[in-house]
Structures are given as structure tokens and as C-alpha cells.
Amino acid sequence: MSILTDRPALRAEIDKVAEVAGYLWQKGWAERNGGNITINVTEHVDDTLRSLPAIAGPFPIGKQLPHLQGCWFYCKGTGRRMRDLARDPMANGSVIRITEDCAHYEIVADEPVMPTSELPSHLAVHDYLLAKGSPYRASLHTHPIELVALTHSRKWMVKDAATRMLWSMIPETRAFCPRGLGIVPYMLPSSVELAEATIKTIDEDYDVVMWEKHGVFAVDTDIMDAFDQVDVLNKAAQIYISAKNMGFDPEGMTEAQMRELSEVFGLPKSTSC
């Protein structure tokens, strides 16, 4: 029996993960086993679940994460494909809990599917979010084609250059991605250095972080909201690239127009970064 049985709130969160995984595959952002999803499901864990024995582990995280003591997460499995996760999330991911020493995790359900190799970096971000009192409980890593393409030009790797351009392509980008796009220069995938640089960039007040020539890492209150931010930003990149393919440089909204949006909707960042 699945731990989702008779737990509608927990099932709803996992169903959202499966839905997002399907979107990532359909968009071509999750080739082979590319991309990862990790969500904090602690608030949906009841006493019966807490009493369950581990089915695998404990396994070392590689560092101590003091704010995750006793926390529970759903994680995509290592080597698993998003298209398969969309079809059967509990066979292609697992629910884990962090042990009392904050340095290990155990797999609790449904099957002993080992989490992504990027689990330590995902958990480090969740530890940071809890430490700062953030309501964000979901992290997403994926490979949006047009956003990745932008990072092959030095022009868009300058801090906030891509943010200003993407905001200017369509009003919704400014409205729905008000913190813009943080930039991290190329680093080895799954490395400690990449995880630390990502946390530093999130700490500069970004929800979506662009990894040069690799992909994005997004955090939000749930996995659907994290996906939506990436989707909106990538749409803006598509508009920019479409205009270039039509033979002209897109004009973009003016600074005055974007300031007006900020003032009317009370958005948190200035466009004149």
C-alpha cells in the first residue's frame, strides 16, 4: 500500500510533482533523466508516518544541515526520467526523512528508490530557506532551451542584463517573475561549489537562478509555482529569439513602462538595477 493512500493532502503535492514532470518532458526541458525535483512535505506527515521504519538507509548527505532535522522530502530518483515520473511518481521517486543528526537521510516509502545525485545541493538550499524563515518548500532544476541558449553569449551573463531584457519582452514577465533571473557562471554539475553559488544568488533575492550553459534552479512555495516562473521567463526568451530570427532586434518595453508596472502592482525590484 502506498503512503499516499488516505492522505489526500500529501497525494495532492505528489500529483503536482507528476504534473510538472509531464510538462517538463513535453517542453523538451527534461531529456533522458535530466532535471530534478525536491519538495518539502513535512507539513503533510502524520504520526503514523513518523512511526514507519526506514526501508533503506541511513545514507550520508555529505554535510550537516541543522534546520532539516526531522524534515521529510519527496525526491526524484537518480537516473529516473521525468516522463516516467509523470506516469508513476512513487515508482520513480521516494519519500525520505532527515535523521536526528541532520547529516543522514533514510528512505521511508514507497520503494527504495535512491534520490538524485544532486540531493545534497537541493537539501542545502532547503536548509537555507528554512533558516531564513522562507515559505518556499519546492525546488526545481530543469533545462529550458531558450534560457540556456542565452547563456552562450557573454552579453547575457552580466548581472541583471538578461533580467532587464526578459522583463521588457512582455508585461507578464515583470509581473509574474518580479525578482528576475539570477546568474551563476559555469561550474561542475552537482558540485559543492555550484550549490554554494546557487544559495548565494538566491540570497541576493532571486527565485530563479540560471546556471551558465546548463539549466535553471528555481524555488517557490510549491512545485507548480516554481515551474510557472521558469515557464514565464522562457516565454520571454522565446519572444526575444523569435524577433531576432525575424531579422530585427526587439524594441522591448521602456524603462518608464516597466517602472509603471512596478508601481501599479507593487513589485519588489526596480528595473534599473
Active site residue 118: yes
User: 226 and 139 in contact (C-beta within 8 Å)?
Assistant: yes
Give dist(CA 141, CA 195) in Å, integer. 12
- Collapsing DSSP to helix, strand or coil, 271 comes out as coil
Using omega within 30 degrees of 0 as the cis cutoff, is the peptide bond preceding 88 cis? no
Q: One-letter amino acid identity for 231?
A: D
Which entry of 106, 111, 118, 251 is annotated as an active-site residue? 118
Burial state string for 107-132 with b = 16 or more CB within 10 A and e = fewer than 16: bbbbeebbbbebbbbbbbbbbbbbee
* Grid coordinates given for 44: 503533510
User: 260 and 170 in contact (C-beta within 8 Å)?
Assistant: no
Residue (of 138, 171, 139) closest to 267 by Cα position = 171
- Collapsing DSSP to helix, strand or coil, 137 comes out as coil
Active-site residue set: 118
